[in-house]
Each structure stands twice: as C-alpha cells, then as structure tokens.
Structure 1
C-alpha cells in the first residue's frame, strides 16, 4: 500500500509555505507522495470569495511541475458543496484502494477538528500528521488526534495576506513560486 499525504486547502493562491510543508513531509516521513487537494469551498469559509477552481488548480500544477512525489488533485470539484473531508476521503479510498491516505493538518486546524463532520469516522480510517503553526499551542488531547511533527517548519504566510497585498499593488513575488507569480502578474489575478 502506497502511503499518500493529503494536503487539503483552497490554495487561493498556493504559496511557498504550502510547498515547504509538502516537501518536508515528503522528505522526512514515510509518505511516498503528497497530493494537494484543491477545495472549491470550505464549510468554515462560506463568506470568503474564492478564485475560480480551475485557476487555483492550474497554479498548484505550475508550482509543483516536475517535482517527483507532489501531485494536484481536483477530486472535490464535482462533489456536492460545501465539501466535507469525510466524503472526499470515502471517494478517494474507493478510487484508490491500493493507497493509504494520511491527512496533513496544521495545528490551527486541529484546534477545530472535533467540529468537523463525522470526525470520528475520519480518525477510524486515517492517520493525521500535524505540523506546527506560529502562535498555536496544542493541548494534550489535541496532539493525541495525530502524530505531531514539531520539527516541521512553522511558516507564517497566508493566502489572505498575499491576496490583500496584491490588491494593494504590493510586490510579493518571493512568497510565491516564480511560475505562480508570473501567472498572477500576467493575468492581474487578485489585483481588483
């Protein structure tokens, strides 16, 4: 069984923080691959304006192009909205019975994990690899939800900051993979 890490997110846009975390888990754990699962809309972010699904998928593909072990997944695109992770995981297990899926989750998301739809079902089928987030401390009962990789990089970059900076006309090119920056710069994405 091939062990595959699932890194869920809207990736609006994908930035170097996402890439660093994915590379860390690929290099430093037992995962054979890491998949970026691009989510159309999180049940916890209903008010957030989301860039077109295909554009976000394309930016992820640009960022990971030619990197062995990293892959973009649009599995959630055709699923009912809002997307619930438990349903996505059921679909992935059915479509890929030869893989074991592990969730990659920031400490900030672990804080709310027990509010997720059918979180017990997720835990019964999947391990969770937790990475640190700046200024987030986990309680003992939260670290028990998965394996905490405290040496993973704690990166304080957010897609929200990137979007706001682009809208304000700021140059944030070094927070993005150069191909993603070039795409955003050429299309004017996030500038208005």
Structure 2
C-alpha cells in the first residue's frame, strides 16, 4: 500500500525544522510524498493575527521548490471553515483512496492531541509519525503513546529525527529585533520576508 504524509500548520513562516521533519518522515516511513497543508483558520489560533494566505503560500512555494516528494496541498484554503484536522484528513482520504495516511507532528502537539476536535475519530482513522528529540518530554510522550495505542489502537511511529530547535514565533521575534534568521529558514524565504517587510 502506498503511503502519504500530511504536515499541517500555519507555516507563518515555514522554516527548516518543518522541512527536516517532513524529509525524515518520508525517508523512515518510505512515504510516496509529504503534503504541506497551510491552514486557513487554525482552531487554536482563532484570536491570533496570522499573515495573509498569499504570503504564507508564496513562502511555502519558495521553500519546497526543487525538493522531490514535498508538495503543497491547498485543501484547507479552498473553504472558509475552521481547519479541523479530522475534516481535512477525510477529504485527503477521499482523494487518495487505498493509501495509508500518516499525520506528522511534533511532541507537544501529539501530547495534546486528545484535546483536538473529534480526537477519538482522528486517532482511529489515521496513523501518526511523531518527531521527538532525546530528553524532551520523553517519559510524558512515551506514556501518552502507550495509552493512545491501548485506547484507540492507533498506529504510531516515533521518528529518529534530530529535531531542530526552531519555532515560527521565535523567527518573528528575531526579525522584530533585527536579528538574522539565516540559519532558520531557506534562503529564498529569508529574501521574500525581507522584500515584503514581513514580521516587522
């Protein structure tokens, strides 16, 4: 069976940590491709200011250009609903029939996954690839994975990734302070941010 990875988020902005995680999942799980899905209205960020779709998509396009197997899906941008993961997953499954879908996310997001909209259905209908880093919430993550496997019979794979300590909010703070973000985002994304005066 062919396998596809999903990596969702605001990507505001996309950074090297996102790309590294996607490539690691693709390699370890032998995924045919990883779809980056920019959110229109993230349920946990409804009261936060988010950069326009146009800018976020252009940064994604620049970041993924020329990287084989990493693609953008505009599925959440095509409707005005809140971007609940379960709805996106079901639409992806309808489109990619008879494929195993792996939802790729980091430790913090997975530990809180039972707070997500229709979490039980999500955990029963999807496989998960978790990007972790040694020593970071290791025991908490292990106990969370054990419980979720037992309760929902979820297929969960822990990736052996060297998670980069990068966050989009950290990048925005650095830009606001005039600090270089050269090692945090692809060069083309850094240029785009600078040319468009984003996050200042």
Given the two structures, how large is their TM-score scaled by the length of structure 2?
Answer: 0.88
- In the alignment, which residue of structure 2 is the partner of 1:188? 197
Supply the distance in 2 between the matched residues of 1:139 and 1:15 (Cα, whole angstroms). 24
Structure 1 residue 150 displacement after superposition: 5.0
CA deviation string 1:30-86 (max 9, x = no partner): 211111111123211222210011211111111111111100111101234321101
Q: Which has a greater percent of helix?
A: 2
- In the alignment, which residue of structure 2 is the partner of 1:136? 137
Task: Work out whether 1:173 is the aligned partner of 2:178.
Answer: no
Structure 1 residue 105 displacement after superposition: 1.4
Supply the distance in 1 between the matched residues of 2:159 and 2:124 (Cα, whole angstroms). 23
Gaps of 5+ in 2: 149-154
Partner secondary structure for residue 76 of structure 2: coil
Gaps of 5+ in 1: none
Please provide the CA RMSD for this pair: 1.7
Given the two structures, how large is their TM-score scaled by the length of structure 1?
Answer: 0.91
Supply the distance in 2 between the matched residues of 1:173 and 1:96 (Cα, whole angstroms). 36
Partner secondary structure for residue 48 of structure 1: coil
- In the alignment, which residue of structure 1 is the partner of 2:152? none
Q: Aligned ranges for residues 1-192 of structure 1 at < 5 Å?
A: 1-133=1-133, 135-137=136-138, 138-144=140-146, 145=148, 146-191=155-200
